[in-house]
Amino acid sequence: MDDTAISLKQKLWNPEARLAYILILPAVAVLLTFMFYPIGYVLLMAFFKTNKLSQLKGFAGLDNFISEMTEPEFWVVTGRSMLWTVLAVATKTLFGMIIAVILNVKYTGRKVARLLFIIPWASAVPISSMLWRWVYHPVYGLLNHTLRITGIWPQPPTWLGTPIPAFAACIWVDIWIGIPFMALVFLAGMQAISEDLYESAYLDGVNWWQKFFFITLPGIRHIVLIATLLSSLWTFNDFNTIYILTMGGPAGATDILITRIYQNAFKWLRFDRAAVMAFTTFVILTILSLVYARVYFKQERS
């Protein structure tokens, strides 16, 4: 009994561990104060009545959840968050794959092309979103002008002023920002595949599609999984694009959970609603993050 007590104490409190705790303490203290405590507080807030100053006013049990989740609007926004994430990530993956395949062909200028393809990711997201607002401008914007004069779309919509085009316009900006990351990761994966495989496939007379589906895709399977998980997290969390382009409008048509939380809290001072939505978001993000972390670790070990 005494022995195990001593060895446990030694395990927790030997000079090396003590040094480790001292070195780690500042970072952990900052995280506890400015991340874990605020998250805990918001999660707690979901179970309390709140006033317009976001003070807790008595325990409410599940009342906030019940009143919020019986509102159709809650499900509309949550559903839109899901749709937003799935559509955007799928499109990013598709574009990323196409660009990676192209950049994997050894032509002159591919290095410059690679640098140019990165720009949408490298540029500041809020600033890009503002630029897009100007691009989408119904009267002076060059997008609609170009669509008209080239005859691609003679009567283009008022992008940010009508619900469905506004959703399409917002999601495109999110996709546009996310494509370069996908392309870079896929490209890195493709370049790690041994060239011998392709060469022997060429000698066997295998066509392009077969090479892609039987050599390239299986070779980057793992990377695709990790990149789509990461991208799902970013996409679900994308506040800047929507807030700057439409502020969730027109008439809430582009609101997703993340933007609605902010508006509930800082515009309408409905902290009960904001807290319930934050709770929901927290659960979804935690599940996605845990899956990402698991995959990441599994890959590190192998």
Partner 1 sequence: MKWKNRGKIPAIIFTVALLLLLLFPFFVMISTMLKSSQEVYSTPPTWIPQEFHLDNFLTVWSEFELFIFFRSSIIIAVGATILNTLLTVPAAYAVARLRFVGRKFILYLFLVIQMFSPVIVIISLFKIMVGLNLLDTYFSLIIANTVFTIAFTIWMMNGYFRSIPIEIEEAALIDGCSRVKIITRIMIPIAVPGLVTAMIYTFIYAWNEFLFGLTFIQSRPKMPLVLALYNFVGRWTTQWELLTTAAFLAIIPVLVLFYVIERRLVAGLAGGAVKE
Please report how many Cα atoms fall inside a 13 Å half-sphere around the Cα of residue 239, on the Cβ side.
Answer: 7
Q: Residues 7, 9, 37, 51: which binds partner 1 (CB under 8 A)?
A: 37
Footprint of partner 1 on residues 126-165 (CB under 8 A)? 126-128, 130-135, 137, 139-143, 145-146, 148-149
Contacts with partner 1 in 244-263 (CB under 8 A)?
A: 244, 258, 261-262
Q: Which residues pair with 59 in a beta bridge?
A: 48
Stretch binding partner 1 (CB under 8 A), from 30-38, 61-69, 85-93, 151-159: 30-38
Scanning 58-66, 73-81, 123-131, 163-171 for contacts with partner 1 by CB under 8 A, the matching segment is: 123-131
HEC profile of 110-178 = HHHHHHHHHHHHHCCHHHHHHHHHHHCCCCCCHHHHHHHHCCCCCCCCCCCCCHHHHHHHHHHHHHHHH
Q: Are 297 and 288 in contact (CB under 8 A)?
A: no
| Window 183-222: contact mask with partner 1 (x via CB under 8 A) | -xx--xx--x-----xx--x-----x-------------x
Per-residue x/- mask for partner 1, residues 56 to 95, rule CB under 8 A? ---------------------------------------x
- Of 122 and 251, which has the nearer Cβ to partner 1? 122
Residue 19 interacting with partner 1 (CB under 8 A): yes
Instruction: Give CA angle at 245 (85, 179), nearest 5°.
Output: 45
- Only one residue has tokens 């370069």, namely 180
